[in-house]
Copies of this chain bind each other. A is one copy, B any other.
Amino acid sequence: MDYQHILETVWRDIQPYARLGQQADYIPALARVNPDQSGICLKTLDGRTCSVGDADVRFSIQSISKVFSLALALHFEGENLWTRMGREPSGTAFNSLVQLEYEHGIPRNPLINAGALVTADILLDHLPGDPEQFYIDFLRTLCGSPDIDYNTEVAASEQSCGYMNAAIANLLKHYGNIHGDLDRVMRLYFMMCSVEMSCRELAQAFIPLANHHQPFCFAGIDLTTSQIKRMNAIMQTCGFYDEAGEFSYLVGLPGKSGVGGGIAAICPMRYTIAVWSPRLNAKGNSILGMKALELFTTLTAESIF
């Protein structure tokens, strides 16, 4: 399959959508990003790399980080993790409080904000040394880029105006599902969201999720084949908030989006693909990113279904 050629076709065909949507602007550092950048990078398990556009420009991975923290939590807690959260699609927006109150502080899944806050609380119990440093080192090992880092301005902005996340965290604490100090948990959470990576780096970081025949072992964190497949299952049903069904229907790959405009997805035993474009639809997912992936799996006729 000539993926590079297909990527270029996709690239050309999505241009009419390039000005639609609005980038995230709830914090200044995200509002300042040039919204007209975009890129795609695909990596195959047999070692090829294809890309178009701004595939080497780093951006705020935001909620895509929830996949990496889920990997860490599964390593440390195994199936015990599910006493603290569910693995069902939420059917609601990423930051909804309603479900959390009805279900007494048990988040629906690890890929919504509430679930990722509980995950951060769990990681504080397990990560050796400086948790923030461990997380960055894990990501650096995972994608082989020693200079990946998080954006301190973004992290600080998120913390200072993240009232909805603070509401969620306090509700979790009220129900006893955050054990540690609230400020500490939120600091780790916001730091994880503010990591910056390029499409090329994200595509590399997701390789172990696509390649479940290889042992997953990075920076001392290892996962079984079954755990990797289950992470993919969770991405499939929960990776796009209340558009999980839409992404599954149109694209048909396990993936995860972030409000920075990135989407990373995998085709098991074949490839990983990361797209980026800051303009979002009403559900908080990248418009160009969704469109590019829909076209890509249509043209390749490759999907998990």
Contacts and interface: CB of A to CB of B under 8 A. Distances in A.
B246 A88 contact: yes
A87 B246 contact: yes
Nearest to A251: B233
Interface in A149-197: 163-164, 166-171, 173-174, 182
Interface on chain A toward B: helix, strand, loop, or mixed SS?
helix
Q: How often does this chain occur in the complex, in copies?
A: 4
A171 B166 CA distance: 8
10 contacts: A89-B89, A89-B245, A90-B91, A97-B98, A98-B102, A163-B170, A164-B170, A229-B252, A230-B305, A254-B305
Contacts of A226: 298
Nearest to A173: B163
A304 interface: yes
Contacts of A304: 268, 304-305
B230 A249 contact: yes
A148 to B, nearest CB: 26
B252 A233 contact: yes
A305 B171 contact: no
Interface residues of A, number: 53
Contacts of A232: 305
Contacts of A246: 87-88
A100 B151 CA distance: 33
Given A87-B246, A98-B98, 15 more contacts: A86-B245, A88-B246, A91-B92, A97-B98, A97-B101, A97-B171, A98-B101, A164-B170, A167-B169, A167-B171, A212-B305, A229-B305, A234-B248, A237-B244, A237-B245
Nearest to A226: B298
A44 interface: no
Interface of A: 86-92, 96-99, 101-102, 108-109, 163-164, 166-171, 173-174, 182, 212, 225-226, 228-230, 232-234, 236-238, 242-246, 248-249, 252, 254, 268, 298, 301, 303-305
Identify the 8 closest CB pairs spanning chains A and B, nearest first.
Answer: A91-B91, A88-B245, A167-B170, A163-B174, A232-B305, A89-B89, A304-B304, A229-B305
Contacts of A96: 101
Nearest to A298: B226
A236 B236 CA distance: 9
Nearest to A89: B89
Contacts of A99: 91
A194 to B, nearest CB: 19
Contacts of A168: 167
